[in-house]
Amino acid sequence: MIEIIASFVKQAIIQGIPLLYGSTGEILTEKSGNLNLGIPGIMYIGGIAGVIGAYFYEHAVEVVNPFWCVLIPFVCSVAGSMLMALIYSFLTVTLRANQNVTGLALTTFGVGVGNFFGGSLSSLFGEGGSIALNRTGACFKATLPFADKLGLFGETFLSFGFLAYLAIFIALAASWFLNHTRAGLNLRAVGESPATADAAGINVTKYKYLATCIGGGIAGLGGLYFIMDYIGGAWTNGGFGDRGWLAIALVIFALWKPKASILGSILFGGLYIVYLYIPGLSRASQEIFKMLPYVVTIVVLIVISIRNRRENQPPESLGLSYFREER
């Protein structure tokens, strides 16, 4: 029994990590007042950019060096997803386009780019077949050397690749940044009331751009983790599924607090796979169980709006473009 629970917790964490990256990135973005519905697309880009980087590296050298093997996809992934977030920021902040429309277009574009290059990268560059970057995947999956000597505890909590721990670290760092630094305070001010922040001398445009781009970069790592660590370096079209939207749901569930989203991500990861662990479920009731993360999010959304406590609300100006000369 204890083994089953331990394996469930481990799987829940594995499923939760991409969501944690996505939601930490989206929290930073939303704190600046930008509701970036392009996160699912950005996470696809994060995955495929890493794949492209690793593909060229693996084909350029005979023997892979684990250091480059991790660094190149990592940098590609962050750069690709930051570029996507830059498109979003340019359109919504500089050109003041509608955030919902821009975000949805970004998702269409990102998923398209991901599936296009994922499906035809090897045929574009002369070889057929699908992509399998096992060597890169192995580097990303590498765990602490003593993890398997610590029994069940090591198996459950220490058997992940480095990206899993990085996700938790980034979430903690984001939480500290938002609540304990001057820049974090300014960022929150921008998201609550850009006009007030502007009057106080805060550069609203700069904060919106930086928060959205860095947030996008973090979210993209979720895609990288999924492809390299969870899948082990192979790309399947649409394999990432609806995890991007779940990450946005997790932002609400965590009440815009990165620390809360760590536990939230594990819970969501658990809800995502719980149907595999309940014995005797028919296929039909499995589908009902897969509804759980979304239903839970809806319930949370309603409850926070009924209780109406100020510290649990979305940023006041979320979804609105700011134009100084607007009355």
Partner 1 sequence: MAKTNSMHHEPLIRISKRDGMVWWKGWLVRAAAIVLALLVCAVLIVFITGVNPLEFYASMIRGSFGSARKLWLTLQNTAILLCIALAVTPAFKMKFWNTGAEGQVLIGALASAACMIWWGNRLPGWLLLPMMAVVCMAAGIVWSVIPAYCRAKWGTNETLFTLMMNYVAMQLVSYCITYWENPAGSNSVGVINPNTFGGWMPSLFGQKYLLNILIVAALTLLVYVYLARSKQGYEIAVVGESQNTARYIGIDVKRVIVRTMVFTGAICGIAGMLLVAGTDHTISINTVDGRGFTAIMVSWLAKFNPIVMALTSFLIVFLERGAGEIATAFRLNESVADILTGIILFFIIGSEFFVSYQINFRRAHKEAGIKHD
For residues 102 and 92, is the Cβ–Cβ distance under 8 A?
A: yes
Binding site for partner 1 (CB under 8 A): 35, 37, 87, 90-91, 94-98, 100-102, 104-116, 119-120, 124, 237, 242, 245, 248-249, 252, 282-284, 287-288, 290-291, 294-295, 297-298, 301-302, 305-306, 308, 314, 318-319, 323, 325-326
Nearer to partner 1, 24 or 99 (CB): 99
Residues sharing a CB contact under 8 Å with residue 324, sequence separation 6 or more, in sequence order: 195, 198
- The answer to whether 234 touches 131, Cβ cutoff 8 Å, is yes
Q: Which of 86, 102, 85, 93 is nearest to 42 (CA)?
A: 85
- Of 207 and 272, CB closest to partner 1: 272
Smallest gap from residue 177 Cβ to partner 1 (A): 24
Query: Which is nearer to partner 1, 180 or 307 (by Cβ)?
Result: 307
Cβ–Cβ under 8 Å, residues 136 and 58: yes
The minimum distance between CB 97 and partner 1, in angstroms, equals 5
Contacts of 206 (CB under 8 A, 6+ apart): none
CB nearer partner 1, residue 11 or residue 312: 312
Q: What angle do CA 82, 88, 93 make, to 5 degrees?
A: 120
118 and 235 Cβ atoms separated by less than 8 Å: yes
Least distance in angstroms from the C-beta of 284 to partner 1 = 4
Ramachandran region of residue 133, left (φ > 0), alpha (ψ -120 to 50) or beta? beta
Q: With respect to partner 1, which residue has the nearer C-beta, 63 or 282?
A: 282
Report H helices in 181-291. Answer: 182-192, 194-199, 204-224, 243-253, 258-273, 283-290
Give the integer Cα–Cα distance in Å for 68 and 91: 34
The residues facing 132 across adjacent strands are: 234
CA-to-CA distance for 281 and 208, rounded, in angstroms?
46
Minimal distance, residue 302 CB to partner 1, in Å: 6
Residue 110 Cβ, how far from partner 1 at the closest point, in Å? 8
Distance CA 102, CA 118 (A): 24
- Nearest distance from C-beta of residue 21 to partner 1, angstroms: 19
Instruction: Rank residues 158 and 304 by Cβ distance to partner 1 and give the closer one.
Output: 304
Q: Are 75 and 53 in contact (CB under 8 A)?
A: yes
Nearer Cβ to partner 1, position 27 or 249? 249
The Cα–Cα gap between 150 and 158 comes to 9
Local structure of 326: helix, strand or coil: coil
Task: Specify the residue, 180 or 282, whose C-beta has the smaller distance to partner 1.
Answer: 282
Min. distance of Cβ 173 from partner 1 in angstroms?
Answer: 25
Residue 124 Cβ vs partner 1, minimum distance, rounded to whole Å? 7
